[in-house]
Amino acid sequence: MSESTLRIGLVLPDVMGTYGDGGNALVLKQRARMRGIDAEIIQITLDDEVPDSLDVYALGGAEDYAQRLATRHLTRYPGLQRAAAAGRPVLAICAAIQVLGHWYETSAGERVDGISLFDLTTAPQAERSIGELITAPAVDGLTAPLTGFENHRGGTTLGSDARPLARVRSGVGNGVGDGTEGVIQGSVLGTYMHGPALARNPELADYLLARATGSDSLAPLYLPEVERLRKERLAVGRRG
């Protein structure tokens, strides 16, 4: 952790924040502060270079044109790539997975090179995936079911250097027929779950926080309202 304050980078919220995914940075900040860890959010817009010295980074979803703007900016200012190479945790939501891959194909059939933090590619599915998503985590350190709302047309194929974040129990996930959802590669983690994802999955939030702070474990937090939200959304997803 940098000095005494946890610095959370919210990357390109001006173009990669369509579905309220900026809330993930707020969840990280609040869960850190509830444990007595000072934390601040650093917003990195299209007017800013991307710093490589923050403690944890979060990127959200977007549409095709915004994806291209984000890809261009992250290519020009490769601070995120340097941070990931140094082992700093990165959370990528939905379209951000595609930007961080080798390439993605837009709905108009244009293939756009990504920044290759993930060994994956994304092409349009025949139908859009919309609805509640429930998965079983496939990563050490995560045990609780993951829940979110997916809204994407991209189908993401993982390469040999990438692993799935989870296995689909209800919903679509990565959308290529192999039952996978999301991706993890090194310190970089991606998921198609909106919600925001970290509000609905506190264990996932703490997984990122532990890595950002260099902690083997974090003091537990019991928040009844979070448990009620999880119970409600899991029930809805299972009915769906």
Residue 200: which H helix or E strand, with range?
helix 197-200
As a whole number of angstroms, the distance between CA 230 and CA 228 comes to 5
CA 218 – CA 6 distance, rounded (Å):
14
Structure token digits, residue 70: 């984000």
**Catalytic-residue membership of 194:** yes
Considering 73, 94, 102, 152, which one is annotated as catalytic? 94
The candidate with the shortest Cα–Cα distance to 83, out of 184, 139, 8, 31, is 8
CA 197 – CA 25 distance, rounded (Å): 10
CB 148 within 8 A of CB 136: no
230 is in an annotated binding site: no
Q: What is the DSSP string of 143-191?
A: -SPEEEEEEEEEEEEE-TT-B-SEEEEES-TTSSSS-EE-EEETTEEEE
Sheet holding 6-11: strands in order across? 39-44, 6-11, 56-59, 90-93, 188-191, 183-185
Instruction: Tell which residue, 27, 112, 23, has the closest CA to residue 63.
Output: 112
Q: Is 152 a catalytic residue?
A: no
Q: Round to whole Å and give the CA distance between 209 and 221.
A: 13
Annotated catalytic residues are 94, 194
Q: Which residues are annotated as a binding site?
A: 128
Q: Which residues are annotated as a binding site for substrate?
A: 128
